[in-house]
Structure 1
Amino acid sequence: MGSQYTEMHIEWNELLLTIETTVVSKRDLLIAVQVVNNDSQAVNLSNYFVLVNTNYLFYRQGVCISANYCNFVNCTGIGLSNIQFFAIQPQIKISKFDVKHTTTSNNSSSSVHQQKHKIQDLFSSDSEIAAFSLTGGAIGFSSNTFRNLIDIQRSIANARADELQNYQKYGPELSENYRAIHNVIAWNTIYTVYEGVINVVSRRWDFGFGYVMFLWDSFLTSLIRSFDIDGLDVALQTFIQVAKSRTRNIDSTGLLPNYKSGTRISRDRTEPPIGSIMLLQLVKIQKTENLTWFIDLIYPELYANLVWMWKHRMMTSKIHPNISLLVLGSDPDNLPINGDIEVNNLQAARFESGLDNSPMYDYDDFDNKMHKMLQFDIGMNSLFAAEAEALIQLIKYSSLSLVEEYKTLQYWLSMIVPAIESELWNLNASLYLNRAVDTGEFNIHISPTSFFPLLIGLPSVKQAEKMIVQYLTNSSHFCVSSDCHEQPLPSISRSDSAYSDQNYWRGRVWGPHSYIVYTALSHSNYALSEIIQYARNSLINQTDLMWRKEWNLYGHIHENYHGDTGAGCGSNSDPFYTWGAATAFLSIIRKYSYQIRDDVTFWFVR
């Protein structure tokens, strides 16, 4: 995923193009634009041009100048290296249209013009536009060294062969998995003046300055990218930028924000805590890498986030006063600087779950005075415990003195794990469920979060097997079995009235759910259970069939998929979303299995 080769296919009216790039000598960029229409797709190429925009981004002080209709541009900047950009043919006049000045239309339908204007605003001054004719069918570009078209195409062909060879190391059965992961991760890799080279969730999502990073999305994406050593640097940088965005609140604690971008950050709410879980897995993947420095840098932020959650999201049961567990909320004392539509209300608390419109949160149970949702959340409590366990295991990889942190983590686990078992286990249903803080009533909506307690090995083998048979592999609920072919693990039980909505977290299938449940089923406590391992393998096989369907048809890796058909398109599903790669990742980690976690000695009595 740190590849030096990229390939893009473009269809514009009747024109078909490929754009290929590679980098040689670390600094020389090569670009080849090639018309690929066949004889039956004849097109008048004199009507088409390639426009090259050369300038310095993010208001860097510099200028790019080309002589009239020459084939190169010189760029010089204050404190920046000089760059020359060459084309294999001279520029042409573009008097028939003006590409320099794009204005924003007041018409809401003119979204393309608005996007162009926003991108234009990133440049230090009016951009230098160079235009080249496509009449010859191919154009080559190079930086710093002039190269002819044959040389450019040869270098790019070699880079392409190397890239394909890289896919083959996973074998014929998994090479396409890697290819799909590579495509979606690479496409969503950007550079910003604030964070450097990072992965963002999508090219479509924009919370300010053209991008957004969500907490659990970005941590999972970093893990997926780190699987290939070539992608480790960007994976670590992405992880750092999310972890170091932790807020500093008025009570001297701080949360890892629900979202961050170049101009906005959420200060009132966090998201499902999976950073330490992902970090531990990342460290164990990179067995040959010394990541002590990285753990030392990140550990305090991940730990502090749990401190914030313990302080701001714990509530005591009105039914059982000796029990306290985590709830969802939105803290009005720490509002976003640039404003947020949803703050200190039920929807803001829903956003903290990461499951924005899940029917589990259809109840009107937000306490405006306490700024919290009045139900104990099985997903958040299980992930908090799993995070605490992961932080304990990470201590041995760190050079920091973490004695006090270790004691606190032990204490948290000694309190929260027994409380999950006693308060959130529904004996009649044989399942862990959300539960109302004030009435003690169990939430009737069943989602994959009910299986998150397996992350910490909480249910006994017998207890876990009953959950699996009655719900996970049952065709009436989640149908993680060969009976359901390519529709694995919907975000709400198939028996739920909201399942038919098939809108976002109301019945669609999501990569992060599949990955977390896969990790839970992989706990060493259940390694000898044939029932649990059957469910684990079924989940992988079904997920693999699902993502391949959209990938083979359209080249999409979706944000989420239809629970019945496995289709990705429609219903708020971005077709190229980073953590969609988790669906293709499951088969890879099954083959290249590694010990995700060490055995944990529990310090509480079950």
Structure 2
Amino acid sequence: MNRNKMKIKFLIAAVLSSFIFNTYLQAQQISDQERNVIQMRQLNAHLCKGWNTWNTNSVLSHVLLPEGFAINVQLVNHQKGDTLKEALIGREDYGTKEHVVPGPHCYDGSYTDLTVEWQHINVRVQSAAEKNDLFLLITPVNFSNMDSLIIDPQMLWGRKGKIKMSDGIIIANTPSGEIRIKVAGGNYSTSDTRIIFSLDHDIALSTDKSKSAADIESIMKVSEKKFTAEKSKYKEASEEYNAMQTVLAWNTVYDPANNRLLTPVSRNWCVGWQGWVLFEWDNYFAAYMLSLDNKDLAYSNAIAITKEITKRGFVPNFGSSKNKSEDRSEPPVGSLIVNEIYKKYHEKWFLKEVFDELLSWNRWWANNRDINGYLCWGSDPYVYGKISPFLIKGIGTKKGAQWESGLDNSPMWDDAVFDSTRHRLMQADVGLMSLYITDCQSLSEIANALGKTAIVKELTQRADKYSKKLRTLWDDQFGLYLNKNLITGKFSYRLSPTLFYPLLVKVPTHKQAERMIKEHFYNPQEFWGQFIMPSITRNDPAFKDNKYWRGRIWAPMDFLVYLGMRNYQLPNARKDMVEKSKNLLLKSWLGEHHIYENYNATSGEGNDSGMSDPFYHWGALLGFIDIMDKGYVPAPELPLEAKN
């Protein structure tokens, strides 16, 4: 009997152990599958909270998340009967009249500062925030007696809540509780829906009823001083950092449909797209810049653009609140950027979150843009829904292939033939092949970090294959890699900085690299000058067009060439690239507080062309070059183990 009882006990123990072990395995499996979902929820919960300038449509709108309760600052010119309801930075070049000078802006909204000039009215608007407390200080600079300022409270994005006014107090009843904002300074009157201030006194508001106008002024001084001290960590590149951080912070907005933060190229672009729009290489570069000191926002942006992947398996030229480009991609820099962000923060969940999409995209290039072993740009037809006629013109056409290059109207494409059957631009592209090899190499490192040995081998083989083909595009007589017409087999001598991209993947020998620099980079007829590098050589017939990619300077080109220079002993060229890029950025930043989409290659101006957004974040790559060169960013050419 005892022996039977023992058997039963052992049997029960075995069953329980098996059950516990299987439950443990199942839990582990669920954990692996769900971990990234949990991480993303935590990431968004951490980012999407508190007071900040979250509202895409106006930098004068201060919004509390997750409630969606907004305090909107508006200006009124009673003499003309005009009201400025929304304001954006740089929009004076888009046909409106407000001129916003952006000042400091903490990423978390703990301090913001700007000046807005509209018609003859000029006011400074400062904010400070801590958790759910908001402090606003508005200082009139110029006005007339009839002018006024309106505080217009609203619930945004369909969020639940009711707002009422009570003797200078705004009361918002939301599902999370009651929020009260009290007037602490200024001459005002109230209506049922808003507070109207005259501009003859400073205006102060606060969620803390105990704070006076003087208290709020002191809070602003302390907040500004704290932010200034935080920025001092980058004192060797202080103005470059200031420019970069400012444009990134002011352009960070909230996407209510997906409960996430995005940093689009500029708010102007988002308003034009009726919500938000992300461009592929633009937003990967933004993520790289953000990774300097804001890990979560860098993750959010890199993941957001990667998750725009299409049904065909590629990250598109653009993704927006309305649609995405199903016909074309853009320069493949995603794996490069993701790998560099990982090398700084070493969080594998981030790699796992984007790896499948990056691998699909990498395979897509080889399967869909390869002609005789060379890579070229293209645009594939597809059945589209309701999109603008402008976008329709690019689908399955040469224009669409040019858009895929990211260099829309580059003279490099003027004589290139578009195969309307295969929907390819029949030109082997040095820049694309170099960036694709970089993508293979970077993604191979990511795969290795995730223990995916078979995929490492696959990617290494592809990198080797295209490296061999890239070497055949070297013109030894000319001393440069050249694009090649895939119909005639002849080289193209329409030269752009993309022809230096082979430096990124160490395909050139050191002797070849020296020739590229000596004979072309330093050639004043081509790329050298007071401001560098023009997107087409100075001696090209199209240089004088000075329109978009026809002769103007673009920060991502300088940045990618600089990264390539770091792979070689080219100290003078590297130093000159750093200094000239920095000087170009600071010319408009210090003079106008603008960071342009592109620049005049002769004068260094950004505002001389109608096709250069004045507050476009990738322009800050010109300063990121110096920030990296000063050692504030891990050296991208070093292997992972050297950065630990």
Please tell me the TM-score bracket, short chain as reference. 0.7 to 0.9
1:575 to 608, 614, 622: 614
Q: 2:181 aligns with which of 85, 90, 93?
A: 85
Aligned equivalent of 1:14? 120
Q: Is residue 2:194 matched to residue 1:130? A: yes
Whole-Å separation in 2 of the counterparts to 1:327 and 1:489: 23
Query: 1:335 offset after TM fit, Å?
Result: 4.0
SS in 2 for 1:272: coil
Match in the other structure for 2:225: 161
1:223 to 277, 288, 292: 288
Equivalent pairs: percent with the same residue? 30
Q: What's the counterpart of residue 467 of structure 2?
A: 417
Kindly indicate whether residue 561 of structure 2 is the aligned counterpart of residue 534 of structure 1.
Answer: no
Q: Which residue of 1 aligns with 2:171?
A: 74
Deviation of the 1:469 alpha carbon: 0.5
What do residues 252-311 of structure 1 show as CA deviations (whole Å, max 9, x unaligned)? Answer: xx1101011111211110000101111222233x3xx34211111112211111111111
Q: Which of the residues 279, 285, 289 maps onto 2:338? A: 279
Displacement of 1:66: 2.0
Structure 2 residue ranges without an equivalent (≥5)? 1-105
> Does structure 1 residue 62 correspond to structure 2 residue 161?
yes
Report the Cα distance in structure 1 between the residues aligned to 2:500 and 2:177, rounded to whole angstroms: 54
User: Which residue in 2 is equivalent to 1:5?
Assistant: 111
* Candidates 45, 53, 73, aligned match of 2:152: 53
Look up the match of 1:468: 517
The 2-side partners of 1:146 and 1:218 are apart by: 43
Structure 1 residues 61, 362: closer, same or farther in 2, change over 3 A?
same
| SS of structure 2 residue aligned to 1:30 | strand
Give 1:104's aligned residue: none
1:586 to 609, 621, 625: 625
* Residue of structure 2 in register with 1:405 after alignment: 455
In the alignment, does 2:609 pair up with 1:596?
no
Cα RMSD for the two superposed structures: 2.0
Task: Please state if 1:187 is matched with 2:250.
Answer: yes
- What residue in structure 2 maps to residue 515 of structure 1? 559
Alignment match, 1:105:
none
Tell whether the 8 Å contact from 2:503 to 2:513 is kept in structure 1 after alignment: yes
Equivalent residue number for residue 357 of structure 2: 301
Cα pair 1:243 1:256 within 8 Å, conserved: yes
Whole-Å Cα distance in 2 between the matches of residues 129 and 520 of structure 1? Answer: 57
Cα-to-partner distance string for 1:327-370 (whole Å, 9 max, x where unaligned): 11111136466453321101111000000110001125111111
Indicate conservation of the 8 Å contact 1:490/1:509, yes or no. Answer: yes
Distance in 1, matches of 2:198 and 2:346, equals 49
**Counterpart position of 1:549:** 587
Give 1:91 deviation, angstroms. 5.0
Matches within 5 A, 1:78-477: 79-88=175-184, 91-92=188-189, 129-143=193-207, 147-171=211-235, 173-195=236-258, 196-206=260-270, 208-228=273-293, 231-249=294-312, 254-284=313-343, 286=344, 289-316=345-372, 324-333=373-382, 335=384, 338=387, 340-341=391-392, 342-363=394-415, 365-398=417-450, 401-422=451-472, 424-477=473-526
What secondary structure is seen at the aligned counterpart in 2 of 1:429?
coil
Q: Report the counterpart of residue 31 of structure 1 in structure 2.
A: 136
Give how far 1:216 is off. Answer: 0.2
1:493 aligns with 2:549: no
Aligned mates of 1:443, 1:63 — CA distance in 2: 65
In the alignment, the residues of structure 2 paired with residue 129 and residue 570 of structure 1 have an alpha-carbon distance, to the nearest angstrom, of 43
Counterpart amino acid of residue 240 in structure 1 = I
Q: CA deviation at 1:136?
A: 4.0
- Give the drift of 1:428: 2.4
Matched letter for residue 472 of structure 1: F
AA aligned to 1:307 is: R
Shift of 1:81: 4.6
CA displacement, residues 21-63 of structure 1 (integer Å, 9 cap, x when unaligned): 1112x221211101235xxxxx43x422222232222222333
SS in 1 for 2:299: helix
Distance 1:436 1:442 in 2: 6
Decide whether the 8 Å contact of 2:582 with 2:626 is kept in 1.
yes
